[in-house]
Amino acid sequence: MAKSISEAAAGAAPMVRKKKKFYDASAVSMPANLVLNLLFILLTIACFFPFLLVISVSLTGEKEILEFGYNLIPQKFTLYSYEYLFKDADKIFRGYGISALVTVLGTTLSLIFSSMFAYPLSRRDLPYRNFMAFFVFFTMLFHGGLVPWYLLYSGAGLKNTLWALIIPLLISPFNLIIMRIFFTNTIPAALIESAKIDGASEMRIYLRIILPLSLPVLATIGLFQTLRYWNDWYTSMIFISNNKLVSLQYLMYKVITEVQYLNSGMVDASVVGQELERIPTETVRMAMAIVGIGPIILVYPFLQKYFVKGLTIGAVKG
Q: Which residues contact 77 (CB under 8 A, 6 or more apart)?
A: 59, 60
**Model pLDDT, residue 271:** 47
Per the model's pLDDT, the better-predicted residue between 292 and 11 turns out to be 292
pLDDT in tens, 203-228: 898 888 898 888 888 888 888 898 89
Is the confidence at residue 240, as pLDDT, over 50?
A: yes
Instruction: Provide the pLDDT confidence category of residue 253 given band limits of 50, 70 and 90.
Output: confident
Q: Which residues contact 247 (CB under 8 A, 6 or more apart)?
A: 95, 98, 99, 102, 165, 232, 233, 235, 236, 240
Domains observed in the chain? 81-310 (1.10.3720.10)
Taking the C-alpha atoms of residue 282 and residue 134, their distance in angstroms, rounded to an integer, is 47
Looking at the chain, how many residues does it have?
318
pLDDT in tens, 52-62: 888 888 888 87
pLDDT in tens, 79-91: 888 888 888 788 8
Instruction: Provide the pLDDT confidence category of residue 275 given band limits of 50, 70 and 90.
Output: low
Question: Cα 247 vs. chain centroid, distance in angstroms?
Answer: 18
**Model pLDDT, residue 16:** 46
Question: Cα 80 vs. chain centroid, distance in angstroms?
Answer: 31
> What are phi and psi for residue 316, nearest 5 degrees?
-125, 130
| Span 240-255, average pLDDT | 86
Q: Is 53 exposed, middle or buried (0-12, 13-18, 19+ CB in 10 A)?
A: middle
Half-sphere exposure at residue 134, Cβ-oriented, CA atoms within 13 angstroms: 4
